[in-house]
Structure 1
Amino acid sequence: MTDDFRKRAKNFLLLDIETVASHASYDALSERMQKLWDKKSLALNKGDETISSSDSFIDKGAIYSEFGKVVCIAFGAYYWNENDQLSFKVRSFSGDDEVQLLLEFKSLIEKYPADQLVLCAHNGKEFDFPFLCRRMLIHGISIPKALQISGKKPWELLHQDTMELWKFGDYKSFTSLDLLAAVFDIPGSKNEMSGDQVTRVYYTEKDLEKICRYCREDVIVLAQIYLRLNCMETVAPENIHRIE
């Protein structure tokens, strides 16, 4: 473990978000949003009109910030315990009130120096970070400096993305967190559920804590993968602390 990593770890947050469709059903959308989703759905399904807008909304609405919302943000940080062993702690913010959830997260990251905080997520540059920023703007919440990218020079952008790190400049394919975990022989996070089930678990089972457990486990997997991508040993299971 290098001294440089110990120094960076003080301002390093790994995160994952869970999103759901903005409403429990397509019918609950306003007429204006229904028409816009109809267009989106037809494009997503490549013109296949046998797939209804209602079904596609539940299946895919959560992916798009215009039609989805954040219900959980899990985040974790490395630290060294009293025996100087690398450790990791993870917790989450969650709730039905997205505004309150986003404000809690904003308050958290603004406790760190904006020019030093490194945020890391898997596919974060294409999903997690922009999704959070767009939902903040929709609710009239100013974007914290650590998430802002406009006007910044490339070397001023501190965001880390494990999918990007794995690509090494190759943009031909998407590599899931679960696949990387398997490649590195790291225990996965799909024991209770998978990402495509989140909207149904939220609206049908009404089990937000189940979603949060899944989200926190994803952050643990992310943390272990980040270490392996930097040729470091993973955190021992007994040194991983889940804060519920």
Structure 2
Amino acid sequence: MNVLVFDIETIPDVDGGRRLYDLDGLSDKEVANILFHKRRQQTGNEFLRLHLHRVVAISAVLRHGEDQFKVWSLGDPDASEKELVQRFYDGLDRFTPTLVSWNGSGFDLPVLHYRALVHGIQAPRYWDSGDDDREFRWNNYLNRYHSRHLDLMDVLAAYQPRANAPLDEIATLLGFPGKMGMSGAKVWDTFQAGDIEDIRNYCETDVLNTYLVYLRFELMRGQLMPQAYEAECRRVREKLEEEGKPHFREFLAHWKSPPEPSPSLGTTENTECSRD
């Protein structure tokens, strides 16, 4: 198993907004408000087009080897956007993992593409579609229907946008913690308040939710047997308990029992992926 679950958090690209709309002399907050206003006029909501997002956090769960499990945020809290994006692609060069995301095809990866373009970041392994490695011709990161990147939201919706579901609700239905009070809509305000650690912690809990949903998906399609599924859930719990960070302790505290556990997994009381 060599899997990298990832998630990004973004804020408005105010520097880009200044260049596009000749807004020199205005504060970051003023530029962002103009970008939001323009978007509301166009669509009725404030969600900016993907090329106007700036990455402020990238978090990941890496599962590799026999028993290696790690959850962390790339770079230091004060790392530049260029460093964060470069570290992400460097990780792909190093491990060539299966990427797992929730809506990564629709949001995270296109944003990373645009930011890599802005910063001139090279990522030959990621962009390879078979020219350098023939195996990538049949299974690469770019093709929607290849398995080297698994967008759980896209696959579970059978590639039908009308069937898409939010991660928070799916995680909660399965007894996992979900958002725990934070959401992507609050990231800009949190960033302006200087709480980058809160954003990184939130991003880490998002990738944990995604990883746990991924484990359930692997169980559903027979890639994990029930005993292996339980062992993976136990490994996650033990690692979070070992690290002892406050947001991990909160995550564990919100890890609830699913209302109707699968008969193949036994009762709620003996299911490691449930919380008494």
Q: Scaled by the length of structure 2, what TM-score is found? A: 0.65
Question: What pairs up with 1:1-244 in 2 under 5 angstroms?
Answer: 9=1, 11-23=2-14, 29-30=18-19, 32=21, 37=35, 40-45=39-44, 59-61=46-48, 64-78=49-63, 88-93=69-74, 94-95=77-78, 97-113=80-96, 117-146=97-126, 155-156=139-140, 157=146, 158-188=148-178, 190-203=179-192, 205-231=193-219, 232-233=229-230, 235-236=233-234, 237-240=237-240
Q: Deviations over 1:72-127 (max 9, x none)?
A: 1001122578xxxx6732011254521122122222221124xxx21111011111
What is the CA–CA distance in structure 2 between the aligned matches of 1:97 and 1:209, rounded to whole Å? 14
Contact kept, 8 Å, 2:191 with 2:199, in 1: the verdict is: yes
Q: Structure 1: state its 5+ residue gaps.
A: 1-8, 46-55
What is the CA–CA distance in structure 2 between the aligned matches of 1:176 and 1:118, rounded to whole Å? 22
Does the C-alpha gap of structure 1 residues 239 and 110 become closer, same or farther in structure 2, counting only changes over 3 Å?
A: same
Q: Which has the higher helix share?
A: 2
CA deviation after TM superposition for structure 1 residue 153, in Å: 5.0
Does the C-alpha gap of structure 1 residues 31 and 18 become closer, same or farther in structure 2, counting only changes over 3 Å?
A: closer
Letter in 2 for 1:60: F
Q: Deviations over 1:7-32 (max 9, x none)?
A: xx2x31010101111239x9x72462
Contact kept, 8 Å, 2:53 with 2:111, in 1: the verdict is: no
Identity %: 26
What is the CA–CA distance in structure 2 between the aligned matches of 1:150 and 1:175, rounded to whole Å? 33
Q: Deviations over 1:150-196 (max 9, x none)?
A: 987564441011102321344323211101101211122x2252110
Contact kept, 8 Å, 1:20 with 1:71, in 2: the verdict is: yes
Q: Scaled by the length of structure 1, what TM-score is found? A: 0.73
Contact kept, 8 Å, 2:90 with 2:123, in 1: the verdict is: no
Aligned-pair Cα RMSD in Å: 3.2
- Which fold has the larger relative contact order, with Cα–Cα distance below 8 Å and residues 6 or more apart in sequence? 1
What is the CA–CA distance in structure 2 between the aligned matches of 1:226 and 1:90, rounded to whole Å? 15
